[in-house]
A and B are shown apart, each in its own frame.
Chain A
Amino acid sequence: MNPRYTRTAVALHWLVFGLILANFPLGLYMADLHFSPLQLRLLSYHKWIGVTVFLLAAARLSWRAAHTPPPLPASMPEWERHAAHGLHFLLYLLLFAIPLTGWLTSSAKGIQTIYLGLVPLPDLIGKDKALGQLLGEVHSGLNFALLALVGIHAGAALKHHFLDRDGVLARMLPFLAKETTR
């Protein structure tokens, strides 16, 4: 039987994935709405989900520091190991950079982020219209970079599962592991 990620690591991984899956189109949709109560409401929801992703990403990293991930299969070539580690590093980087640039955009646009309408986050920078515009574009660009990396990440996982059949995907999807051990 292949060693797996802990249940907590698996739960956090899929929770973060689900939140991003919802927040990415939400961000695109609300940005294109005309100024309306719906836009203001969705903008707040988008920020709250983003802050949640940031907190969960921090939780994942600290969990990971205390719980070493399962080793990669011995059959994996060297370059694939490097690629996997590099990709994971970039994904984590974006899990922090995207909410941070969103937070900066909020500050520059002069609309503070108040998590769940209750916890005010300090404005990191002063109000600056041009900077707000630029940061919004950086925030959006990083999201499309994340989309591309997630595509590679998922593609690699599927390659491991269907072509290599080395149990790498089952480390993150325990129900697959049950099937293979039967």
Chain B
Amino acid sequence: MTRLYAALALLASGALHAAEFRAVQLDKSSISFVSKQMNVPVEGAFRKFTAQIALDPARPEAGRAHVEIDPAGIDTGNDEANEEVKGKNWFNVREFPTAAFTATSVKPLGGGRYEAAGKLTLKGKTVELRAPFTLRQEKGGLAMDGSFPLKRLDYGIGSGVWGDTSVVADEVLIKFHFVLK
């Protein structure tokens, strides 16, 4: 009997191990954002980031994620804006060269939706957040897509004259797309 359990456990762990995706394909992944300027949605992206994610769709609770962003790799779509947002009022990339998100829990929401809860550290401030996402298995890989709203002023992003939310809205939508193998 114990041998049967041991065999089952071994089989289960093998099956689970095989179903866990842990190699993030950075070239196929992206972290982008949509900010609103005078009510006009404007897309941008963080071009420099690394991600360690391990996820098994059958056991999402065991999922782990740690994402690091180099805010100096920001692309707002406008050269002048790219320079401005690296400065003190925005990301202050010299003093805060790394932004990081670490998931502390992952849970299924049902209907193919999941939620990662964790801490986002941005410009030296750490705030708890929840990021819902979907999973889609595609030829040997797993595509993870999600988005969440973030209040930039919670992190002091866009302070000083930029604190006027009637020009640049406080809420920014962060979108992520990771391809795992």
Contacts and interface: CB of A to CB of B under 8 A. Distances in A.
A43 B39 CA distance: 12
Given A35-B80, A41-B167, A111 B43 contact: no
A39 B2 CA distance: 74
Interface residues of B, number: 18
Nearest to A45: B38
Contacts of A127: 77
Given A37-B161, A41-B167, A111 B37 contact: yes
A34 to B, nearest CB: 7
Interface in A1-56: 34-37, 40-41, 43-44
B39 A114 contact: yes
A37 B167 contact: yes
A86 interface: no
A110 B38 contact: no
A111 B42 contact: yes
Nearest to B166: A41
Q: Most chain-B Cβ atoms within 10 A of its Cβ — which of A34, A37, A110?
A: A37
A44 B81 contact: no
Nearest to B38: A44
B40 A111 contact: yes
Interface in B18-56: 37-43
A117 interface: yes
Q: Is chain A's interface secondary structure helix, strand, loop, or mixed overall? A: loop
Contacts of A111: 37, 40, 42
B43 A36 contact: no
Q: Is chain B's interface secondary structure helix, strand, loop, or mixed overall? A: mixed
B77 A40 contact: no
B86 to A, nearest CB: 12
Nearest to B161: A37
Contacts, number: 40
Contacts of B167: 37, 40-41
A140 interface: no
A50 B77 CA distance: 23
A35 B81 contact: yes
Contacts of B161: 36-37
A110 B78 CA distance: 9
B139 to A, nearest CB: 29
Contacts of A41: 38, 167
Contacts of B84: 35
B128 interface: no
Nearest to B39: A117
A60 B167 CA distance: 33
A12 B33 CA distance: 42
A109 B43 CA distance: 11
Interface string B153-176: 000000001101001100000000
B74 to A, nearest CB: 14
Contacts of B37: 40, 111
Contacts of A40: 37-38, 167-168
A155 B97 CA distance: 61
B81 A114 contact: no
A37 B164 contact: yes
Given A35-B83, A41-B38, A43-B38, 7 more contacts: A35-B80, A37-B168, A109-B78, A110-B43, A111-B40, A111-B42, A113-B40
Q: Which 7 A-B pairs have the closest CB atoms?
A: A44-B38, A117-B39, A37-B167, A35-B80, A110-B77, A35-B84, A114-B40
